[in-house]
Amino acid sequence: MYKVVAPMAGITDASFLNKVIPYGFNVATLGGYSLDQPTIDASRKIIERGRKEFDFPVNEIFTHIEDEVNSIKNLHDDVKVSANVRATTPQPIVEVGNIPNLDIVEINCHCRQEEILAIGCGQEMLNRDDLSDFISQVVDNVESEVSVKIRANVEGIDTLKTASLIEDAGADYLHIDAMKKGADADWELLTEICNNVNIKVIGNNSVNSRSNLEKMIETGVDGFSIARSVISGNLDFDISNF
């Protein structure tokens, strides 16, 4: 079972991840990082209105990620390290996917901050006609595995079709925030996806108690990820037995 620390921009750096991995995680996600000038400019606008973001210039971001990967591997060489990234083109994502010791590059098709959506990134990637080609270009040119992080139930998007597209494009993992308005995660949709795709599915959202973790696992996912419940660094339910 993949037990993943989900990305949180401005929070999930190596020092944070090194502190929370011992709660039982076997995959640690760095980022989200913005990799090219349009996404970096968008991140800066987000920071200006008071939200946390990582902020590194183009000429520093790749060596920064490499250093962060090594900081985790030096302490936890049995843990897979993933980097969640945003860019307007595949090329900088390919560069991250070829960082030595990085296990997984994760294409962020999830973020819904309006500055990121305005440049066609994050969740807006799901509306791109060339999404399949974008993912394939990354898959075909990196040494690492590739994950694609999406949000479920986005208006106008068929989540199951998108999951199949991501599988067909050759990605190794579908990381899905199964968000459902007014409820915990959309367990039914996750079950439907797990029954209809062969790509490894990492289920995300509302894993904040043992009972929700059990519900998540019952959907048939290959792994689960947790964001908000790890912020305190004090998970009050044990993930090590799953």
Ligand X SMILES: Cc1cc2nc3c(=O)[nH]c(=O)nc-3n(C[C@H](O)[C@H](O)[C@H](O)COP(=O)(O)O)c2cc1C
Q: Which SS3 state, helix, strand or coil, does residue 76 take?
A: coil
Spatial neighbors of 193 by CB under 8 A, at least 6 apart, are: 159, 160, 163, 174, 176, 201
Stretch that binds ligand X, among 5-13, 127-135, 153-161, 192-200 (CB under 6 A): 5-13
Stretch that binds ligand X, among 7-15, 63-71, 92-100, 234-242 (CB under 6 A): 7-15
Candidates 4, 8, 14, 135; binder of ligand X (CB under 6 A) is 8
139, containing H or E segment: helix 131-139
Residues 75-94 that bind ligand X (CB under 6 A): 84
47, containing H or E segment: helix 37-48
Under the binding rule (CB under 6 A), the answer on residue 32 touching ligand X is yes
Under the binding rule (CB under 6 A), the answer on residue 110 touching ligand X is yes
Identity (one letter) of the amino acid at 206?
S
2, containing H or E segment: strand 2-5
User: Which residue is it, tokens 């520093």?
Assistant: 60
Identify which of 68, 134, 137, 140 has the alpha carbon closest to the alpha carbon of residue 99.
Answer: 68
Candidates 146, 207, 216, 239; binder of ligand X (CB under 6 A) is 207
Stretch that binds ligand X, among 69-77, 123-131, 139-147, 202-210 (CB under 6 A): 202-210
Indicate the residue among 125 and 207 with the shorter CB distance to ligand X.
Answer: 207
In the complex, the smallest distance separating the C-beta of residue 69 from ligand X, rounded to whole angstroms, is 17
Indicate the residue among 84 and 88 with the shorter CB distance to ligand X.
Answer: 84
Contact 29, 7 (CB under 8 A): yes
Q: Which residues bind ligand X (CB under 6 A)?
A: 6-9, 11, 31-32, 84, 108, 110-111, 149, 177, 204-207, 226-229
